[in-house]
Amino acid sequence: MVSQTESSLNALFDGETDSPPIAPLGTRVGAPSLRWGAPTARERGPIVATHGNRGHRNVIGTHAGGYSVYRALAIAAGSLPRGHRPDLTDTAPSDRIGPHPQWCDPAKIVSLDPWGHLVGEAFPDYLALGHDIRPTIAVTRAHIDMPEIRGAIAAGRIRADGDIVSADGNVRVMKAAIDPVWYLPGVAARFGVTEKALRRDLHEQTGGMYPDLVKREDLKVFLPPIGGMTIYVFGNPGKLGDGKTPLACRVHDECNGSDVFGSDICTCRPYLAHGIEICIEMAQQGGTGVVVYNRKEGRALGEVTKFLVYNARKRQAEGDRPETYFKRTECVAGVQDMRFQELMPDVLHWLGVTRIDRFASMSDMKHDALVRQGIEIGERVAIPDGMIPADARVEIEAKLAAGYYGGNGRAPAEAVGRKLDE
């Protein structure tokens, strides 16, 4: 006896749809067409990535990035109904973002859906026809509280103004979570490869998880199973992209060990805290600040690789030194870095940003990627020396010697990190 679930799964594997088209609505049961970079949301068309009605799908992949696997587990475990549709009552953005002219340039934004937070207002007719259109961006507000910011207040570098910074040291922000939505021809162009080659490698390296990458060349949009990003905005978000309000910005790539746990082998959390301080300072001067937090753990190599590299660095006979810092990563991972900043500027295009007045970063990769995308950068702000933990001197000296901003290509200064058991 085959259960109903098994029979519907068998139908799926046999190439049939797992649910019939929404027949009563009649007129538009097919997948909405997509024209990336079109002048309006209506002409662009909605992203439909759910499995509720497979006939409506117009993309490869599904919502929630890597978390889609947990959704599958929840359905398999019987705790989530297969056909659940979210009730989006009162989930609309807390603040208005866009539309900005960059949204209608198919070359400027290729890795997120600029209309992803506005699905309710952008596609009412499709929603009325029963299409399951889900937000890929959520915009909300928060208060953040960090010991470093309290320290900056105590040191007199930031003041509690009762607006951006409260008397008890909380900082008011707008934040947005953004899931990746890749327009494959645009992503391929950013990396200077053919769309076909990109599709083939995505297909292979995900273990054939998405056959449509190679079978359905008519589907141009892919929701990849990776983490997205979060942005934190300081000051009035309504001023973003107005072309006149000065902007401070930190683009930060995730490092859980340092960012959350304060691990001292790298400068990640100090740089994040410094970037937030620069953003608050700019907001208090009437500007705005944006921190972009990309889920690209350990230079997008992941924590397992990162920790293997830590061991390799610390066990070298000559000690953990700047001269071999990048080499040890390359030995384990095959590359020094997989973050590839090519797609990073998209989020700033989404915010309408054309100029960053104070850029809190020493990375030439980030700087050059922004400039290549037509975003002007005024001042580059290096991390103050006093904020660098002793064990992280190896990293910072290696980066300076490799030509990061602030180093002027100088030879690495003498620095030896702790041994593994110290």
Footprint of Zn ion (CB under 5 A): 255, 258, 266, 268
Distance spanning both ends of the chain, measured CA to CA:
62
- In the complex, minimum distance from the CB of residue 422 to Zn ion, in angstroms, rounded to a whole number: 19
Looking at residue 300, the DSSP 8-state letter turns out to be H
Nearer to Zn ion, 268 or 278 (CB): 268
Contact indicator for 239, 357 with CB cutoff of 8 Å:
no
Q: Among residues 119 and 301, whose Cβ is nearest to Zn ion?
A: 301
Buried b (16+ CB within 10 A) or exposed e, 68-92: beeeeeebeeeeeeeeeeeeeeeee
Bridge partners of residue 380, in order along the sequence: 359
Q: How far is the CB of 341 from Zn ion (least distance, A)?
A: 16
Identified catalytic residue from 44, 321, 328, 339: 339
Question: Smallest gap, in angstroms, from Cβ of residue 265 to Zn ion?
Answer: 7
Closest contact distance (angstroms) between CB of 298 and Zn ion is 8
Q: How far is the CB of 396 from Zn ion (least distance, A)?
A: 11
Whether 201 sits among the annotated catalytic residues: the reply is: no
Contact 177, 166 (CB under 8 A): no
Choice between 111 and 258, CB closer to Zn ion: 258
Q: Reduce the DSSP state of residue 380 to 3 states and report it.
A: strand
As a whole number of angstroms, the distance between CA 217 and CA 37 comes to 18
Closest CA to 399 of 347, 306, 325: 325
Six token digits for residue 161 = 């103004």
Residue closer to Zn ion, measured from CB, 139 or 268 = 268
Q: Which one from 132, 337, 346, 391 is the annotated catalytic residue?
A: 337
337 noted as active-site residue: yes
- Cα angle 139, 37, 376; round to 5: 70
Instruction: HSE, CB side, 13 Å, CA atoms: give it for residue 350.
Output: 29
Q: Which is nearer to Zn ion, 266 or 278 (CB)?
A: 266
Which residues are the active-site residues?
Answer: 337, 339
